[in-house]
Amino acid sequence: MIQKITHTCQGTCSRQIDIEIEDGIVRRVSFTGGCHGNTRGVAALVCGMEVGEVIRRLEGIDCNHKGTSCPDQLARALKSAL
């Protein structure tokens, strides 16, 4: 079964992240807003990865001393889905 998550971002240029998870694997990620090339790159890299591995790699990444980033917001969204 596919789990769909919509995460409202806080503290980043991205406004929202839409995620699909199937059997613990990230199947699709789409960012709304943010740096288009970077968010598309992050989304492409995490597709096919286990949720825990994505969290481990992206959690805590900071952008311009904001205390978060688009990748960190993705990790937070995935953590809340667990």
Q: What are the boundaries of each domain within the chain?
A: 2-81
Best CA proximity match to 65, nearest among 15, 14, 11 = 11
Task: Tell me the pTM.
Answer: 0.95
- pLDDT computed for residue 5 by the predictor: 96
Q: Are 13 and 70 in contact (CB under 8 A)?
A: yes
Assigned CATH for 2-81: 3.30.390
Q: What is the mean pLDDT of the chain?
A: 97
- State residue 14's pLDDT score: 96
How far apart, in whole angstroms, are the C-alpha atoms of residue 45 and residue 33? 18
- State in Å, rounded, how far the first CA of the chain is from the last one: 15
How many beta carbons lie within 10 A of that of residue 73, not counting itself? Answer: 24
Output the six-digit token pair for 79. Answer: 């953590």
pLDDT tens by residue, 61-82: 999 999 999 999 999 999 998 8
